[in-house]
Structure 1
Amino acid sequence: MPTPVGLIALATASPPHELPQAEVAQAAREIFRDRFPQFERMAPVFDTAGIRTRQSVMPIEWFFEPRGWPERTQAYLAGAVDLFEQAARGALDEAGLTGADVDVIVTVSSTGIATPSLEARAMDRLGFRPDAARVPVFGLGCAGGATGLALAARLARAEPGCTVLFVTVELCTLAFRMDQPSKADIVATALFGDGAAACVLRAGEDGFARVQGVAEHTWPDTLDIMGWRVDPQGLGVIFARAIPPFAREHLRPAMDEMLSSKGLGVADVDRFVCHPGGMKVIEALEGSLELGQGALDHERQVLADHGNMSAPTVLYVLDRARRSGLPRRSVLTALGPGFTASTVTLSAA
């Protein structure tokens, strides 16, 4: 048996600007109705998304003006480093550690470009050692919370005794676009928010949970399902195929395969901790995994309070699940561009 990796601490961080869904819907109407003739036909997505409010690094007025790469990047660097610090500090405080205790820093973010990367920009703020290993990862999208946690666990297991800090930051709202709106842009405006989460891991220790196994499944010929397009004005969202029906049809066989590699089946899992990509995605996950309608209650609550924050969102769900008491075995899972399903099997300490 591989050495279990203890999930020692978990913290989340949200930016300061609250975006009530009703206000976002009205703002979107003002921005898009003259640029996108089908807006009113799509407007109900703001009501059916299952979101009450979201958080953003920028106030809602910021989005009324055209923004290009320089302004979006400036907002990303300022907001992402602040959220990185808040989430990392929260996790380190919970673990009783400081930045100087961290041996490896895994950073996952796909909503902006930072070179030097976010952990380098936060080194002085958090007191990371000069010899700390830095592992920035780009391109995982919504799967990044699960895949990043899996990577951090693998690194912790590879070097017992080392402390691994995993931080994921996503500022999805900075991709809100008004220059050439599409159906995908309207859906993104109705769904996405900003947030960050951080975890501390160490091999051989209990923490509040242990990572028992990790697995991924990437479906062939699915590059068009989800991703970014790179335009002169910034990143633009790609939803070329509907995700909920794909998840409903294809997730279960992939989950069976990933779990069987660990000697498990769906019936052996007491709780799935899922990335809530949207209300229809949640319903598709419940149907595909035969969980029963309403089983993913924490997922619905996180979606309602924060929207889809991409990678950090599943860790917000895990945080709620652990506060209500993790069962004996959980599987944390997220879907993201690739198109990929990522899983982390957890046992309660």
Structure 2
Amino acid sequence: MNERVTLLSVATAVPEAIITQSEAAATSARLFAHRFKDFRHLVGVFENAGINKRHAARPLSWFEDNHGWPDRMAAYAEVAGQLFAEAAAKALAGAGLEAGDIDCVVTVSSTGIVTPSLDARLARQLGFRADIERVPVFGLGCAAGVSGLGIAARLAAVRPGKTVLFVAIELCTLAFRLDELTRPNIIATALFADGAAACILRSGDGGIAEIESSGEHLFPDTLDIMGWKIDDTGFGIILAQSLPPFAERELGPAIDGILARNGLTRADIGRFICHPGGTKVLGAMEATLGLEQGSLDHERAVLSEYGNMSSPTVLFVLERAIAAGLPERVAMIAMGPGFSASCVTLRRIG
């Protein structure tokens, strides 16, 4: 029998290095303009991305050199471990718990690979019990902040009285490439960033909000919209220009279907909490969901201050929405490789 699952806390963390958008634009121009003739047509993306600054795993100067898999994954192991520990510690403190109280940890990440996984590497440092259940998930991309939360909630629901730690961590900047003279790579240098977020879930009463429902929608024949290509140098981004119009056309009906399967409609949702993939994507989401243009204000604020960090970004938005005061019911939405859409609804407690 499934138990009620509640959200006890949300916490976020970012690396120390900061890249302003003006610095990113100037550096990209110096590195690409003389080698990529179409760069001049893309320079506007830095100004129009709605981003003021971003946090990165390495200082800006690091990206001016060529790096292969060993460099990139060494940086991932180091910085992802630091951010995992920081976000988890903050979430535990927010819930009034210790690491030894955690029964299961779900970790989502699509920007680096380490084995043993991050949770195992940090088990002794954080103080996890020897019998903790570990669920590392790779490949869900930007959607993982929502779909991973759904996975964590379902694991808590079938374990009465158990506590689950959910961590989303991405170091997107480690995929920036000097050798990729392509439109998607240039857009990536203007948009993506690094960060982590953690949530504590528990089956039972109390907390901030109840995880009420979750669902996903996989769109057929859309593998080329978003993802990675992998070669000797590392990850290379796949990002279709058609994403905003696709989102405007397809996302609304998909979310309606997910809500309907859980006995809900858009009218039941007090606020949508969306992954801010970019200003054009946010505009498309507002249009497809029937929202007033500009209403996704927390999303735009997070995008401006942190950029698109992939999976944790929507949890940064959730953190702000909680601080501002949640309406009775919210729906978290994100899209990611597959191409897919994920939705989790939360009902405010108290």
**1:45-86 C-alpha deviation (Å, 9 max, x unpaired):** 000000000000100000000000000010000000000000
* Residue 86 of structure 2 is aligned to residue 86 of structure 1: yes
Match of 2:190 in 1: 190
Q: Which amino acid in structure 2 is aligned with residue 65 of structure 1?
A: D
SS for the counterpart of 1:258 is helix
Provide the residue aligned with 2:30 in structure 1.
30
Instruction: Give the deviation of 1:345 after TM superposition.
Output: 0.5
Which residue number in structure 1 is paired with residue 299 of structure 2? Answer: 299
Q: Tell me the distance in 1 between the aligned counterparts of 2:90 and 2:256.
A: 35
CA distance in 2, matches of 1:240, 1:41: 16
- Residue identity in the other structure for 1:245: P
User: 1:80-229 maps to which residues of 2 (within 5 A)?
Assistant: 80-229=80-229
Measure how far apart 1:206 and its partner are: 2.6
Paired amino acid for 2:125: R
Aligned-pair identity (%): 54
**Aligned partners of 2:165 and 2:198 also within 8 Å:** yes
- The separation in 1 between residues aligned to 2:288 and 2:4, in whole angstroms, is 29
Q: Which residue of 1 aligns with 2:51?
A: 51
Describe the SS at the equivalent of 2:225.
coil
Aligned residue type for 2:290 = E
Gaps of 5+ in 1: none
* Separation of aligned partners in 2, 1:198 and 1:66: 32
Shift of 1:262: 1.2
**Secondary structure at 2:128's aligned position in 1?**
coil
Q: Which runs of 4+ in 1 moved over 4 A?
A: none
**Residues in 2 aligned to 1:4 and 1:340: alpha-carbon distance in whole angstroms:** 26
Distance between the aligned counterparts of 2:147 and 2:154, measured in 1? 11
Q: Report the equivalent of 2:20.
A: 20
Could you tell me whether the CA contact under 8 Å between 2:45 and 2:190 is conserved in 1? Answer: yes
Counterpart residue type for residue 163 of structure 2 = T
Alignment check: 8 A CA contact 2:142 2:311 kept: yes
Q: Distance in 2 between matches of 1:144 and 1:265?
A: 23
Whole-angstrom distance in 2 between the partners of 1:185 and 1:136: 27
Rounded Cα–Cα distance in structure 1 between residues aligned with 2:25 and 2:231:
25
Shift of 1:35: 2.1
Contact 2:156 2:162 in 1 (8 A): yes
How far apart are 1:241 and its partner, in Å?
A: 4.6
The code of the aligned residue for 2:169 comes to: V
**TM-score, length basis structure 2:** 0.98
2: CA distance, partners of 1:240 / 1:40: 19
Q: What is the root-mean-square deviation of aligned Cα atoms in Å? A: 0.9
Equivalent residue, structure 1, for 2:322:
322
Partner SS, residue 294 of structure 1: coil
Residue 339 of structure 1 and its aligned partner are, at CA, apart by: 0.6
Distance 2:97 2:347 in 1: 23
Separation in 2, partners of 1:326, 1:211: 13
Does structure 2 conserve the Cα–Cα contact (< 8 Å) formed by 1:7 and 1:200?
yes
- Separation (CA, whole Å) in 1 of partners of 2:127 and 2:35: 48
What is the Cα deviation at residue 321 of structure 1? 0.3
Determine helix, strand or coil for the equivalent of 1:197.
strand
Of 78-87 and 231-240, deviating more is 231-240
1:261 aligns with 2:266: no
Offset of residue 180 of structure 1: 2.4
Partner secondary structure for residue 67 of structure 1: coil
For 2:223 and 2:165, locate their aligned partners in 1 and report how far apart those are by CA, in whole Å: 30
| Equivalent-residue separation in structure 2 for 1:31 and 1:6 (angstroms) | 48
CA distance in 2, matches of 1:272, 1:44: 29
Shift of 1:3: 3.0
Q: Which amino acid aligns with 1:229?
A: K
The corresponding residue for 1:331 is 331
**3-state SS of the aligned residue for 2:347?**
strand
Amino acid at match of 1:341: A
State the SS of the aligned residue for 2:309. Answer: coil
In the other structure, the counterpart of 1:309 is 309
Shift of 1:2: 5.1
- The equivalent of 2:235 in structure 1 is 235
Q: Distance in 2 between matches of 1:164 and 1:205?
A: 14
The alignment of Structure 1 onto Structure 2 pairs a total of residues equal to 349
* Aligned-pair CA distance for 1:34: 2.0
Opposite residue 51 of structure 1, the aligned amino acid is I
